[in-house]
Amino acid sequence: MKTIKGPAIFLAQFAGDVAPFNSLDSIGRWVASLGYKGVQIPSWDARLFDLAKAADSQDYCDEIKGTLAAHGLAITELSTHLQGQLVAVHPAYDAQFDAFAAPEVRGNPTARQAWAVDQVKMAAKASQRLGLNAHATFSGALAWPYVYPWPQRPTGLVEDAFDELARRWKPILDVFEDHGVDAAFEIHPGEDLHDGVTFEMFLDRLGGHARANILYDPSHFVLQQLDYLAFIDIYRDRIKCFHVKDAEFRPTGRSGVYGGYQGWADRPGRFRSLGDGQVDFPAIFSKMAHNDFPGWAVLEWECALKHPEVGAAEGAPFIARHIIEVTEHAFDDFATGGADRALNKRMMGIYT
């Protein structure tokens, strides 16, 4: 068994224009002061990271690692959640997602997708230069607007959508293979890969591509009412990244899973700071330890109620308490009698 690394924190929700959140050095100093040992870096945020430079320059990558190491921090993964989203955008979401792209490709879906593909490929190269073996991203979505089958979906619509999604991602995943990095798709509503069934549909079309893997975040499964503990055992060999995020689901006589178009604070299913929701983290960390999860426990803070800096301060000790330092021997080894084949036979009544 392996001991999970951590605690770590995803910087996307904290980066800003005011110190200490406006540079990698200062935000690194801040998270280290809270007890974090690693950071997941949003590759699109120029205040913290230059993705193109990291893909091309080992010196730059060494500089980034050195900046964080000065605060006792390691890089857990890079993230291309925003760029990965743009690999596949349904036209219904064009206007909303356009802001995720570079200004020069906005308003041009074809150019925007090409830009996004190049961004994710650069992240594979940068990850290798940084010595990372996993990467966090989104799949994007072509079928999501049709998730509820009313009116009845045309025959083959979902199949065609997943064929196209796999066609777009296959060359990207081949680049990840070339650089020895796993692409971990966050299984997330709004993405075509939003549960185990859809991940399997995608994986089948990729011929079981070794680099198509999973970022596990139980909060999204609470909101879907999916068994997030069984998911760990089913996909244990594909889970390469782990977002530690809490959530709650409290349906009422007026609203349930779909939320009634309400804001996050009023939805029956909402994200919460660690410890304030319903996720069974002791069970999750136990399964991760038992299944030899090789990566980091990374806080992704999102809460409809609590201040982010309070959530970040509470997150490091919460994760640290739940990380299981795995044992190197069985608890009852003191009572072993050693290997004795003759004794084994006598105990079974075998005398020949």
Q: How far apart are the C-alpha atoms of 14 and 312, rounded to whole Å?
A: 9
Taking residues 222-236, report their average pLDDT.
Answer: 98
Amino acid 331: pLDDT: 56
Burial (CB count within 10 angstroms: exposed 0-12, middle 13-18, buried 19+), residue 254: exposed
Is the model more confident about 126 or about 294? 126
Q: Which residue range(s) make up the domain with 286? A: 5-347
Amino acid 1: pLDDT: 79
Residue 294: cis peptide before it, omega within 30 degrees of 0:
no
15-36 pLDDT tens trace: 999 999 999 999 999 999 999 9
Share of the chain above pLDDT 70, in %: 97
Taking residues 256-266, report their average pLDDT.
Answer: 97
Amino acid 345: pLDDT: 85
Q: At residue 196, does pLDDT exceed 80?
A: yes
Amino acid 11: pLDDT: 98
352 falls within a domain? no
Q: At residue 332, does pLDDT exceed 60?
A: no
Amino acid 49: pLDDT: 98
91-119 pLDDT tens trace: 999 999 999 999 999 999 999 999 999 99
Q: At residue 337, does pLDDT exceed 80?
A: no
Q: How far apart are the C-alpha atoms of 261 and 272, rounded to whole Å?
A: 19
State the pLDDT confidence band at 3, using cuts at 50, 70 and 90.
Answer: very high
State the pLDDT confidence band at 329, using cuts at 50, 70 and 90.
Answer: low
Q: What is the mean pLDDT of the chain?
A: 96
Is the model more confident about 330 or about 104? 104
108 falls within a domain? yes
Taking residues 232-253, report their average pLDDT.
Answer: 98
Amino acid 333: pLDDT: 56
State the pLDDT confidence band at 260, using cuts at 50, 70 and 90.
Answer: very high
State the pLDDT confidence band at 185, using cuts at 50, 70 and 90.
Answer: very high
Amino acid 282: pLDDT: 98
* Domain CATH for 343: 3.20.20.150
Number of domains in the chain: 1
pTM here is 0.94
31 falls within a domain? yes
Do β-strands 246-249 and 269-272 pair in parallel, antiparallel, or remain unpaired?
antiparallel
128-170 pLDDT tens trace: 999 999 999 999 999 999 999 999 999 999 999 999 999 999 9
22 falls within a domain? yes
Q: At residue 342, does pLDDT exceed 90?
A: no
Amino acid 341: pLDDT: 84
222 falls within a domain? yes
